[in-house]
Amino acid sequence: VQLQASGGGLVQPGDSLRLSCTTSGFALGFAAVGWFRQAPGKEREGVSCIGSNGKSTYADSVKGRFTISRDIAKDTVYLEMNNLRPEDTAVYHCATEFKSHVSNCPAITLLAGMDYRGKGTQVTVSS
């Protein structure tokens, strides 16, 4: 099982970024995939998750600004981030867990503890 996040960068407040999580070694359609982030000196924070049924969940801090989606044919999960704020600055990681053919997302606070986690991508929001 492998996951690789990409698409981070340095942007200004109010800008947008789309992160990608490229996966391999498991069937994306049967898995829950989540994003979590970690800022310097802070604990890991769950951001968003999409379950095997396509249902998505979000942290309150990103609701209405971030959108998670997936392309099963490309084995990729996306995190579209709009109206970025300085407090969104962090390393963003994707993670997954799966059980048989149905995998629901864990609670947002537990995303960083999903079974498999990949290396992250840095997002910096600064003027």
pLDDT digits (tens, 9 = 90+) for 102-121: 899 999 999 999 999 999 99
Confidence band of 99 (pLDDT split at 50, 70, 90): confident
Q: In whole angstroms, give the CA distance from residue 80 to residue 75.
A: 16
Q: In whole angstroms, give the CA distance from residue 124 to residue 49.
A: 21
Tokens of 42: 């802070």
Q: Distances from the Cα of 46 to the Cαs of 10, 36, 43, 68, 127, in angstroms? A: 21, 4, 10, 13, 25
Confidence band of 101 (pLDDT split at 50, 70, 90): confident
The predicted pLDDT at position 39 comes to 96
